[in-house]
Structure 1
């Protein structure tokens, strides 16, 4: 069953902020996924590369915490990125049982390209808004996200 045209959607439903946020989030996710897929990437590739660029070398467990990627899923993401030469996995000199993940120079170049694609998706998403409205929306969404972050994430994230 296809979704009803917006004008056929009951006004009561069109006025629910959580429903509006869900719709905007679905559109945002689609736009980003399409842009990244055109470059042979996925959103978790972008997240892992961005986290490594910001924090430097980290353990797989720490990268999982920083990105929100489940450890079991992160292994596949890291395999894909390592196979492409975008990161290196080396034994931790302090604890040889774990790996340290490091961004490579080609990984930095890849991240730069993915940044461009994600930025373009944001421009598409926010096209109907003025620059002031975009900044205001971003600030409001950050405030909502921060307020509703689970306590364990707020303390450790």
Structure 2
């Protein structure tokens, strides 16, 4: 027995997925205006927060397949946003670091992403935004 489409469309999981897709589209559009793709932004942000770090560790932290990560890092390195150098702790590994230009672009991307999220939540009051974020954090299984 299958659920009807109207029944599916009122499931919280369906609505969360639709809201997330809308949010991702808004952020992707904002990042594209800065010449950045979503996974490139994720990797650059992680390198900024965690770096320098081993390429393999970066992939684990952002949960990106190593083959896909190589392409993202190649693009970021070609644009002068990150550098990959032998890891001082283990010369067999590459350590990824963000460049000054990477920091500048990341700041612009962060502003663009915040603006896109403001657009996503524009219909909420400040109190509703705070409550919504608290609820999302609770059901996401993260600590924020």
> Where do 1:40-55 residues align within 5 Å?
40-55=35-50
2:27: which partner in 1? Answer: 32
1:124: which partner in 2? Answer: 119
Query: Aligned partners of 2:8 and 2:71: how far apart in 1?
Result: 39
1:105 CA displacement: 0.9
2:55: which partner in 1? Answer: 60
Query: Aligned partners of 1:91 and 1:116: how far apart in 2?
Result: 32
Gaps of 5+ in 2: none
1:12: which partner in 2? Answer: 7
When the two chains are superposed, the root-mean-square deviation of aligned CA atoms in Å is: 1.7
1:29 CA displacement: 1.1
Gaps of 5+ in 1: 1-8, 148-157
Which of 73, 79, 82 pairs up with 1:84? 79
Query: Aligned partners of 1:98 and 1:10: how far apart in 2?
Result: 50
Q: How many residues align?
A: 139
Query: Aligned partners of 1:106 and 1:71: how far apart in 2?
Result: 24
Query: Aligned partners of 2:6 and 2:54: how far apart in 1?
Result: 49
1:45 CA displacement: 1.3
Runs of 4+ in 1 over 4 A off after TM superposition: none
The structure with more strand, counted as a fraction of residues: 2
